[in-house]
Amino acid sequence: MDTSQLAANPSLAEVEQLIIHEKQGNCVPVFVQFPADLLTPCMTYLKVANNSKYSFLLESVVGGESIARYSFIGADPFKVTRTGPGQDIEGDPLVVLQKELERYKYVKIPEIPTFTGGAIGYVAYDCIQYFEPKTRNPNLTDPLKIPESVFMLVDTIVIYDHVFQNIKVVSHVFCPPASLSSNVVNLSFVYNTAVAKARRVAKLVLSSQTPEPVQKPIELGMRASSNIGKAGYEAHVTQLKKHIVAGDIIQAVPSQRLARPTKLHPFNAYRQLRQVNPSPYMFYLDCGDLQIVGASPETLCKVERNKVFNHAIAGTVRRGKTADEDARLSDALANSVKDRAEHIMLVDLARNDVNRTCQPATVQVEKLMAVEKFSHVIHLTSMVTGILREGKNRFDAFRSIFPAGTVSGAPKIKAIELVSGLEKERRGVYAGAVGRFDFADDEMDTCIAIRTMTFKDGVAYLQAGGGIVFDSVEEDEYAETINKLQGNVRTLDIAEQYHHEQQKRARAE
């Protein structure tokens, strides 16, 4: 296919009407489209991201078994922001992000009712110190030594539409405010540049060759080591129960981290993870010197046309080995007094968080204690929503919710302080957020960074925690973290075995 002949939409005249005559904004998406029936999101990612230092793939499976409509793929961001100690920028990562994005007055077009560009990346759990200064703990060690946030700003992405089996490569006609006010903008040049960028990426996607990740020789038998072990985790549970009895908190969420050496290419881990643990938020972020691989079940903060969504997950049991056992475990979870009490605490906390930036009359629990099944566990889940009030924006909503009560506790600030004092380490990406902030200022979508692996310097870091309440049993709580880690542990084992066999066969030929 000759990509130079792909039709671009909307037309130059239509873009001119939106920007110059109607003055609706200064940023309009333009796209080229072609069939995707012979392509997959992973193939598309590998073609687009080849030789790029920074790239991403965002996918989704809803309800445990239905593929969401869109996958998003991008590489070669026009700017990358990295914040934290030793980085160019320190402090609240949302300040710089908001400044970068506020230049864009995005014009939505009906042909693309979804994300078309903006900032994609992560905010580490430790950024809570900037949103709630009382939680700052200067004595924490930093074993991973990664930035507190990394965001890729992209204006050209690939949108894979699973419903209509087509691909839209989208770029943007952006006219900076200064150029519009001085009437010096050459709209035709800007439009043609955006279309050329879209066609150039389309050519990559439609190329006949799919470059594969360079996989180093696999070493089997690598074992994971915990930063605290079973005894250490159970001791944390005991200490937190004492604080609950004393009335300091009603719930807290300690965690343990596994360090798992591996020669596995991070994208090969992602390819396996999407088979082992299909989830509402599946993502691969290549941030240069580290990679984030995840399959999270839980929305942290989502904003659609200024409506805020927050997902609460609390209450967990393992999946059954048969359909009958699955049903029995689901019923037991739904009727567990302990799990229901833990869940209601966190729903109340979610309502409070959403209420901080939303119109109180609009805050509601749209779904309460539904039983949802995932690849390795069954959860109780709820959804809280609200409409942003006048003078508040998506960044305010994010700050008010971050981190989720399901990975911190209640009351949130006190629980964070107590857990931080026990863990004595920065958490990094775990329990923070991964997602996107759109060019559209009333749209964003972030998940809680759980069921997530951070790859750095030949080690995969996995972390999980659980909600501790008055009647928690230490051994059971430790087992819950192991259950939650199982999907990622199994992913690494299966992927390593597969690539080891592939390499063994290649040597024999």
**Whether 274 is catalytic:** no
**Whether 265 is catalytic:** no
What is each CA distance from 412 to 94, 119, 248, in whole angstroms? 21, 28, 11
DSSP string covering 132-185, please?
SGGG--TT-B-SS---SEEEEEES-EEEEETTTTEEEEEEEEE--HHHHHTT--
Q: Which of 467, 478, 481, 487 is catalytic?
A: 467
Q: Which of 257, 271, 394, 451 is catalytic?
A: 451
**Whether 379 is catalytic:** yes
Check if the beta carbon of residue 48 is closer than 8 Å to that of residue 203. no
Cα–Cα distance, 207 to 198 (Å, whole number)? 14
| φ, ψ dihedrals at 151, nearest 5° | -130, 130
Q: Which of 104, 130, 160, 430 is catalytic?
A: 430
Cα–Cα distance, 378 to 330 (Å, whole number)? 7
What is each CA distance from 183 to 19, 28, 104, in whole angstroms? 12, 18, 17
Q: Which of 44, 156, 262, 406 is catalytic?
A: 406
**Whether 406 is catalytic:** yes
Check if the beta carbon of residue 343 is closer than 8 Å to that of residue 314. yes
Cα–Cα distance, 353 to 382 (Å, whole number)? 14
Cα–Cα distance, 291 to 229 (Å, whole number)? 25
The conformation of residue 319, written as its DSSP 8-state character, comes to P
Check if the beta carbon of residue 426 is closer than 8 Å to that of residue 124. yes
**What single letter denotes the amino acid at residue 85?**
P
Which residues face 120 on adjacent strands?
152, 436
What is each CA distance from 34 to 2, 88, 211, 319, 473, in whole angstroms? 11, 40, 21, 40, 56
Check if the beta carbon of residue 340 is closer than 8 Å to that of residue 315. yes
Which residues face 444 on adjacent strands?
303, 437
Burial 24-63 (b: 16+ CB within 10 A, else e): ebbbbbbbbbbebeebebbbbbbbbbbeeebbbbbbbbee
Residues sharing a CB contact under 8 Å with residue 126, sequence separation 6 or more, in sequence order: 140, 148, 426, 427, 428, 432
**What single letter denotes the amino acid at residue 71?**
S
User: Dihedral of CA 447/449/453/459: which sign?
Assistant: positive
The conformation of residue 406, written as its DSSP 8-state character, comes to G
**Whether 451 is catalytic:** yes
Radius of gyration of the chain, Cα coordinates, nearest whole angstrom: 23
As given in the structure block, the two tokens for residue 187 are: 């709209």
Angle of the 394-401 helix axis to the 337-355 helix axis, nearest 10 = 150
Would you please indicate which residues are annotated as catalytic (active-site) residues?
379, 406, 430, 451, 467
